[in-house]
Amino acid sequence: MTGKGKEEVFAGAKDIINQLAVIIRTAAIHDPGNIAVTTAVDKFLALLNPLIASEGELTLELGGEFFYINETRIRYPLEYLPNFDFLVREFKKRGLGSIVFKDVIKAVDMQTFFKAFISSVFSQTPFETFSEDVGNISSLNIGKLRRVKDEAEVGEVDIRREVKKSYFNAVSYTKGVINKIKSGEKVGIKKAKRVVEGMVDLILEQEQLLVGMTAIKDYDEYTYHHSVNVSILSVALGQRLGLSKKVLTEIGLVALFHDIGKIEIPNEILNKPTSFTDDEWSIMKRHPFWGVRAILRQRGFDAMSMRSAIVAFEHHMNFDFSGYPRTRKRFELDFYSKIISLADQYDGMTSSRVYSRIPMSPDRALSLMMERAGKQLDPILFKFFINMIGVFPVGTLVMLDTKELGLVYQSEAMFLDRPKVLVIINGKGEKVDSYIVDLTEKAPGGNFLRTIVKTMDPNKYKINLAEYLL
Ligand SMILES: [Fe+2]
Ligand SMILES: [Fe+2]
């Protein structure tokens, strides 16, 4: 990479993609020559051209549900999600996988490009039509979309979309509430209750998919995703314990606010990429107190607020009271605290809290938790937890006895060691259009067709889970 540093390039990249979506939305309703469109195109080029000039060549690529520029995934804030989602769908409709900008682009060429983009969707063979129409533009090329996984059945796509939507809804709601509390506004829990009820319903029906959403840790805004993930994992665990819907909603709600005390911790500490100093640690360790205080300040004090305050206080104390805050006397930890601290530890370990930190692979996190069971963690609850997450959690990279490499895609409670696996590298070590295999499948002789031999760390292989699992 020449010219600008990597960070700088990618800081602007999200705006380029966002602007691309803006143009396509505008061009779809206006004539391409319309001033609204040409202004938007000019703005787009003002962002894009300097980058092309400094990088020499720029490849914008769609992989799964994400955009990459020169092979780096473009992260974006939640506000951009509707535009990014829209653009992903528009690319897919046309079978468009990449745009390579080979040289600085002229406005007139870009207008031709958008005109072709818009009209190609009406073609029987959209990609081919599009490709032909932009064939004369010498400064850019387009490439066909490579399939990331087998076309799932239509119904499954819809369900996945719904699950994804409600997951992101929950995250964006959580972000709103946390920020309100942070700015000193008082919030009620009515809306929070509705959001959690929605999640509980979805977990009862689609546990695997929603829990699968928590496996994708590559998000920009850790705090909000973490809160939602802990809530989902806690509810899912509660469901395994056979708790009622009412109790599950309570657990989900309480879990959502377990880390609310972190609003008091300065961002420089929260987002610090390197390890904490002793002083910083002692500040971090105060978030349970601050959590209690934040919760007690909210509107209408009831049994739920009490429970939330207790969990905020206890969630790092540990089963054997080896954690924090330290108390003089031991007592029985709240049942919700025990559930939530399991979910919290697991999500914390498998997430990259800050941009640069490499998270732990799910199976590594589970084996670490296994060592803690009976000490820091409630051993019985942990058994239920491992049952829920699976011996091979969604997102685990596994090697099969066929030498194929793949990601655990879905697992069934009945066959914990035989999940469905999305193969991404074939037996010869080649990267392939991925396909799903079911490890419970047997050959006519009665032997299993495939078996997991070992697990591997997806981070080491630079495999982006989000690309495959969303
Ligand atoms: Fe915490
Ligand atoms: Fe937490």
Instruction: Say how many domains are in the chain.
Output: 3
pLDDT at residue 164 tops 70: yes
Q: Are 227 and 332 contained in the same domain?
A: yes
Same-domain status, 315 and 439: no
Which of 389, 406, 432 terminates a domain? The answer is 389
Q: What is the mean pLDDT of residues 293-322?
A: 92
Mean pLDDT of the chain: 86
384 occurs within a structural domain: yes
Question: Packing angle between helix 245-256 and helix 303-314, nearest 10 degrees?
Answer: 50
Q: Average pLDDT in the 201-216 region? A: 82
* Cα(315) to centroid(ligand 2), Å: 8
Domain boundary among 346, 370, 389: 389
Query: What sign for the dihedral angle of Cα 161, 166, 170, 172?
Result: positive
Which DSSP string do the residues of 357-406 spell out, in sequence order? PPPPPHHHHHHHHHHHBTTTB-HHHHHHHHHHH-SS-TT-EEEETTS-EE
271-299 as b/e, with b when 16 or more CB fall inside 10 Å? ebeeeeeeebeebbebbbebbbebbeebe
Residues 302 and 410 reside in one and the same domain: no
Give the ligand with the smallest distance to the CA of 231: 2
Q: Are residues 340 and 223 in the same domain?
A: yes
Lowest-confidence pick of 6-15, 35-44, 263-272, 284-293: 6-15
Same domain, 232 and 119: no
- Number of helices (H), then strands (E), belonging to the chain: the values are 17, 10
* Separation CA 46–CA 69 (nearest Å): 17
- How close is the Cα of 336 to the center of ligand 1, in Å? 14
> What is the predicted pLDDT for the residue at 278?
94
Residue 446: predicted pLDDT: 85
Q: Is residue 228 within 8 Å of residue 247, measured between CB atoms?
A: no
- Residues 198, 286 within the same domain: yes
Domain encompassing residue 95: 6-144
Furthest-apart CA atoms within the chain: distance in Å: 78
Assess whether 46 and 70 both reside in one domain: yes
Instruction: Give yes or no: residues 326 and 262 share one domain.
Output: yes
Ligand nearest to the CA of 255: 2
- Cα(215) to ligand 2 centroid in Å equals 15
How distant, in Å, are the alpha carbons of 35, 396, 435 from that of 421?
50, 9, 8
Beta partners for 72?
69
- The stretch 387-392 carries a mean pLDDT of 80
CA of 190 to the centre of ligand 1 (A): 24
Give residue 459's pLDDT.
64
Rounded to the nearest whole angstrom, what is the distance from the C-alpha of residue 339 to the centroid of ligand 2? 12
As a whole number, mean pLDDT of residues 208-223 equals 75
> Domain for residue 1, yes or no?
no
**Residue 310 Cα to ligand 1 middle (Å):** 13
Enumerate residues 6+ apart whose C-beta is below 8 A from 383: 373
Among the listed residues 100, 99, 120, the one whose alpha carbon sits nearest the alpha carbon of residue 28: 120
Residue 306 identity (one-letter amino acid)? M
pLDDT per residue over 438-466, tens digit each? 998 888 888 899 999 888 876 667 676 66
Asked if 199 and 320 sit in the same domain, the reply is yes
Q: What is the strand order of the sheet 405-410 is part of?
A: 431-438, 420-425, 405-410, 397-400, 452-456
Domain boundary among 389, 417, 448: 389
Percent of the chain with pLDDT over 90: 41
At 2 the pLDDT is 41
Residue corresponding to tokens 């769609």: 62
Tens of pLDDT, residues 409-432: 887 666 778 888 989 888 888 888
Distance 29 CA to ligand 2 centre (A): 45
In a domain, 149, yes or no: no
- Residue the block writes with tokens 């006397």: 329
Q: Is residue 376 part of a domain?
A: yes
pTM: 0.73
Confidence tier at 49 by pLDDT (50, 70, 90): very high
Give me the pLDDT at residue 464, please: 66
Instruction: Kindly give the distance from the C-alpha atom of residue 377 to the centroid of ligand 1, in angstroms, as a whole number.
Output: 15
293 is a domain residue: yes
For residue 231, pLDDT over 90 is answered with: yes
3-state secondary structure at position 313:
helix
The Å distance, Cα 287 to ligand 2 centre, comes to 10
